Structure 1
C-alpha cells in the first residue's frame, strides 16, 4: 500500500438491503470487516442518518473513504430504492458524511466481488460439477428482493456485472407451475422471478398454493412459511418451499446458460443460506440440471450456497481496494 493511501483508513463499508443495513470498518490494508452492526432501515430516514448512527458508536477516527452496496439499480446520482422508501443523492450523501471518496454500487455487484476471496468453509456445495478456471461465474440470491449478478473474466481478473436480472419474466417448467403463475398473473401486472423468489414472493407463492388447493391461506410472513416448512408441520408450507427451490433452480440454470458460467453458480441472499441441508435435499439441483439437451452441460457446473456471515461487506471492501489499486497504477 503506497504511503499516500494509508490515510484512507479506516474505511467505512456497507451492505444496504430492503430491510436491513449492515456497516463495518476496514482499519488496515487487507483487513477484515470490524465493528459490524446491523440496523433496520425502517428506523432511519435515509443512509446518512443510518451511517451517522453507526459512526456515533465507534471509537476510530472518522472514515474518509466509503463504499456500500445497495439493493437497487445504481445509475447516476439519484437513487430511489425499489423495495424501500429511501431516496438520496450520492453527491449530497458524500458531502453530508464529509467523505473524500464514496462508491455506491448495486448490492449484488459488491457481493460478486467477494466471491474470489471466499474460503472453502464459507460455501456449501449442492450437487456435483467442478468449477472451471477463468470462466464466467453466476450469482443470485433471494431476500427482500431477488439479486442477480456475476463475474466475467477480463485479463487476469474479473469484471462484475451490474444488472436487474431478478425482474426477468418467470417461466413455468410443468403444468402445476403454469397454474401457479396464472394465479399470480391475475393479481400482479408482471410475474417476475422476484415476484416468487423473495421474502414477499414466498408468501405470494404460499397464497397461490392455498388457492389452487381450495384452502384459505393463513396470515403467515416469510419466516413462518420457512419455519413451518422445515418443521414439516404445515403441508402447504412444505410444498411452497419445494416450489420456491424448484423455481430457483430454473432461474439459476437460465443464468448459467446465459453467462456460460462454467466457473460455478453462487447463491446468497437472506433466505437460502438459512435453509441449510434442507436446501441440498430440495428440488433445486434436480431442476437446475433439467434442461433437456443441455442437462449434461449443467450437471458439470457446480452450485454453492454462500454461508459467510457478511459477504456483502467483504465485497464493498474490495470495491475500495480496486479503486485504490487503480489510483496507484501508472498511466
Structure 2
C-alpha cells in the first residue's frame, strides 16, 4: 500500500484505564484499532511497543505520532494523574525515532473532534439550536471528569487546555448538600470529579445509603449502574438520577462560562452506557435550571457523543496542523 505524506500515522488515546491505538492511513481514515489495558504495561513506551509489534501493526514504519492523554500537558515530562505512568515526550520520541510526537490533553483532542461529528456519531438531548461561529463546550465523565471547549477564530478552531473537572463541587439542593458533607469526611477538597466520575458513582452510592441509614453493599460502579438501570435497587436508581442531575448543573455552568451557544457535548465512557435512562433523566431540566438564565440555556443544544473513538478524530486534526 502506498501512503501520501507521512502516512501511516500512529494515533493513541491514553486514559486512566485503557490505552487505545490506531493507524491513520489517510486523512480521517483510522484502521488497526487496538485497546490495551494500561495496567498490563509498566510504561507508555511498553504499551506503544506492544501495539507496534502486534499483528495489526507489525512492520509498519511510523514517522508521525499523536497522543491524547488524560492528563495536563504543560512540559516535556508528563506524570499521569489517574495512573502511574510518567514519561518524557522527547525521550519517547527518540526511543521510537518519530520525526513528530504530539502529546496533548485528551479532552483538548476530543474538543477538536466535535466539528467533524455527524448525526450518526452523536444525539441531541432536549431542545436548542447551535449558533454558527460560537464557542462549544465539552465535558465527559469516565475515570475522571474531563472539560474543554472550542473557540472560533478567523484561523479556525482553538481547543482549550482545561482542568475544569477539578473545580469545587457546588451542591444545589439538600440532597446534594448531604452528599457533599459525607464526602468532606473523606476529602479535604471535594471536586466535581470526585462525584461525576466512575469512582464518584460509588461515592454517591455510599453517601445516599449512609444518609438514609441503609446497609452499604460492597459493590463497584458497574454493579451500581446495572442495578440502577434494571431497577433492582432504589438507592442505585437514585444514584444514577443524582449523577445525571449533577452533570446537568456542571454542563450549564460550562455553557454560561464559555458562552457556548454552539452547544455542549457530553463525552466520556459513562453517559453512553446509560442510554435511554440519561435521555429521560432530569439532566436537561437541571441544565436549564439557572433562574434568570433559564431562557438563555434553553436555546443551547446538548449532545451525547456516541462515536466510540472520537479522540482519534481530534488528535488527527491537531497532528495535521503540524504540517501547516
The TM-score, its normalising length taken from structure 1, stands at 0.95
Residues 103-159 of structure 1 deviation map (CA, whole Å, 9 limit, x = unaligned): 000000000010011111111100000000000000000000000001011115110
Cα displacement string for residues 153-199 of structure 1 (whole angstroms, at most 9, x for unaligned residues): 11151100001000000111111111111111111111100000000
Query: Which runs of structure 2 are paired with 1:158-237 in the superposition (5 Å)?
Result: 158-237=157-236
Q: Quote the offset at 1:76 in angstroms.
A: 0.3
User: What secondary structure, in the 3-state scheme, does the structure 1 residue paired with 2:169 have?
Assistant: coil
Residue 112 of structure 1 aligns with which residue? 111
Equivalent-residue separation in structure 1 for 2:274 and 2:155 (angstroms): 35
TM-score scaled to structure 2, two decimals?
Answer: 0.97
Which 4+ stretches in 1 moved above 3 angstroms? none
Aligned to 1:268: 267
More off after superposition, 60-69 vs 190-199 = 60-69
Give 1:61 shift: 2.5
SS in 1 for 2:322: helix
Q: Does 1:86 align with 2:90?
A: no
> Could you tell me which residue of structure 2 aligns to residue 6 of structure 1?
4
- Using the alignment, how far apart are the partners of 1:128 and 1:84 within structure 2? 38
Aligned to 1:287: 286
The 8 Å contact of residues 10 and 60 in structure 1, kept in 2 or not, is answered as no
Output the CA distance in 1 between the equivalents of 2:39 and 2:244: 29
Per-residue deviation, 1:243: 0.5
Q: d(CA) in 2 for partners of 1:23 and 1:164?
A: 24
- For residues 13-56 of structure 1, give each alpha carbon's deviation from its aligned partner in whole angstroms, at most 9, with x where no partner exists: 0100000010000012x232100010000000111110110011
- Residue 317 of structure 1 and its aligned partner are, at CA, apart by 1.1
Q: Indicate if the aligned counterparts of 2:145 and 2:197 stay in contact, CA closer than 8 A.
A: yes
Question: Does residue 127 in structure 1 map to residue 126 in structure 2?
Answer: yes
The CA deviation string for residues 197-243 of structure 1, in whole angstroms up to 9 with x for no partner, is: 00011101110011101012111111111111110001110000111
Q: Gapped runs of 5+ residues in structure 1?
A: 327-331
Tell me if structure 1 keeps the 8 A contact 2:53–2:59. no
Which residue of structure 2 lines up, in the alignment, with residue 309 of structure 1?
308
Structure 2 match to 1:155: 154
Distance in 2 separating the partners of 1:150 and 1:243: 25
The answer (yes or no) to whether the contact 2:142–2:269 under 8 Å persists in 1 is: yes
Aligned-pair CA distance for 1:7: 4.1
* Structure 2 residue 257 is the aligned partner of structure 1 residue 258: yes
Residue 47 of structure 2 corresponds to residue 50 of structure 1: yes
Give the Cα separation in 1 of the matches to 2:37 and 2:272: 20
Which stretch has the larger CA shift, 107-116 or 51-60?
51-60
Give the direction of change, closer, same or farther, for the CA distance of 1:44–1:59 in structure 2 (3 Å limit). closer
RMSD value, Cα: 1.1
CA distance in 2, matches of 1:211, 1:9: 55
Does 1:40 find its partner at 2:37?
Answer: yes
- The 3-state SS of whatever aligns with 1:61 is coil
The Cα shift of 1:59 comes to 4.0
- Alpha-carbon distance between aligned partners in 2 of 1:116 and 1:321, rounded to the nearest angstrom: 15
- Structure 1: distance between partners of 2:217 and 2:290: 35
Q: Any idea what SS the aligned residue of 1:53 has?
A: helix
SS in 1 for 2:295: helix
